[in-house]
């Protein structure tokens, strides 16, 4: 089944909700980056949440999220657009630990429990929104919940889960974001908190094979939920030889000359998709300004 995301409202439009099934998207990220299980879970949760944050945007807007903890993973970076294209990478993909005492992949140990998450929304015409909040648990979902509450003042519940097969491929991945609309009464917020408390964890819902529709129905009940849109999502990278050429130009003429003399060319690898681009001596010569 192809990955997809749904946009919905609940409780008479006072709550907006997103849910996504991202198994293939996360498997593609895993395959390209060769992430081990714990790294796959951390990267997969971040990509899953970022895909939903992208779906909140319009037109050509895009979003970049970065989770920078003090754990061995290094940085986790993901970006997404409003059309369901998402990608991401992690600095150290071969991080893997034993399961934690709850029997789950130990994402917090890999991410670290200190650091920050930052969000940059590119809203076109040089209009940027940036927000940054501290990591609260390193489990990713809670960190984004905290981000929404403090940086955007939007009481939210964020959940994302990734299940990994023994051979390291992705068994299932998905998540949800539910948000109380601005101006909603305290009562709506409390009600939502109760609803969230009452449902099983996102990883168990995913393990049971629940669809995005079923996840939100479980949260709000069929009568309270209105689904407005269903859109496909996929891992897609925006890189091209031209974009990497721009990065090489940015290194400056001396650096380019060194590549020509010492390496007789250059190979540049895209962080996001691991695609390699080769530049010959002549091509490098042309990049000098």
Enumerate binding residues for Zn ion (CB under 5 A). Answer: 237, 239, 270, 272-273, 275
**Closest distance to Zn ion from the beta carbon of 239 (Å):** 3
Q: Give 145-152's long-range contacts (Cβ < 8 A, gap of 24+).
A: 147/117, 147/119, 148/179, 151/119
Nearer to Zn ion, 272 or 279 (CB): 272
What are residue 272's DSSP bridge partners? none
- Residue 129 token pair: 């929104």
Q: Quick one: tokens of 277?
A: 């681009």
Pick 183 or 250: Cβ nearer Zn ion: 250
- Identity of the residue, 42 or 239, whose beta carbon is nearer to Zn ion in the bound complex: 239
Cβ nearer to Zn ion, comparing 79 with 191 = 79
Vertex 181: Cα angle to 180 and 183 (nearest 5): 110
The two beta strands, 234-235 and 85-90, are parallel
Residue 272 CB, nearest distance to Zn ion (Å)? 4
The nearest distance, CB 241 to Zn ion, in angstroms, is 11
Looking at the Cβ atoms of 44 and 71, the one nearer to Zn ion is 44
Give least dist CB 121 to Zn ion, A.
Answer: 21
CB of 237 to Zn ion, least distance (A): 3
| Nearest alpha carbon to residue 32 among 277, 269, 247, 231 | 269
């Amino acid at each position: 089944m192809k990955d997809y995301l749904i946009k919905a409202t609940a409780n008479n439009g006072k709550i907006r909700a997103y849910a996504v099934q991202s198994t293939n998207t996360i498997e593609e990220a895993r395959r390209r980056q060769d992430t081990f299980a714990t790294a796959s879970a951390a990267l997969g949760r971040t990509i899953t949440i970022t895909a939903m944050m992208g779906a909140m945007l319009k037109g050509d807007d895009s979003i970049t999220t970065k989770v920078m903890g003090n754990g061995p993973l290094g940085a986790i970076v993901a970006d997404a657009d409003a059309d369901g294209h998402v990608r991401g990478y992690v600095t150290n993909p071969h991080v893997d630990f034993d399961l934690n005492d709850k029997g789950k992949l130990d994402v917090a140990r890999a991410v670290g429990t200190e650091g920050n998450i930052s969000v940059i929304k590119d809203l076109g015409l040089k209009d940027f929104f940036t927000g940054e909040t501290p990591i609260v648990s390193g489990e990713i979902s809670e960190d984004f919940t905290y981000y929404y509450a403090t940086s955007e003042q939007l009481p939210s519940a964020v959940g994302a889960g990734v299940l990994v097969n023994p051979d390291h491929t992705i068994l299932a991945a998905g998540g949800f974001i539910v948000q109380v609309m601005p101006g909603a009464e305290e009562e709506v917020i409390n009600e939502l908190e109760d609803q969230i408390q009452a449902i099983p964890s996102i990883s168990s819902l995913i393990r049971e094979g629940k669809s995005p529709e079923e996840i939100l129905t479980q949260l709000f009940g069929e009568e309270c939920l209105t689904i407005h849109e269903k859109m496909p999502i996929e891992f897609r990278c925006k890189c091209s030889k031209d974009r990497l050429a721009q990065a090489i130009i940015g290194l400056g003429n001396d650096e380019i000359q060194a590549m020509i003399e010492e390496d007789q060319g250059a190979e540049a690898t895209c962080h996001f998709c691991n695609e390699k681009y080769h530049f010959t001596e002549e091509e490098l010569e042309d990049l000098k300004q």
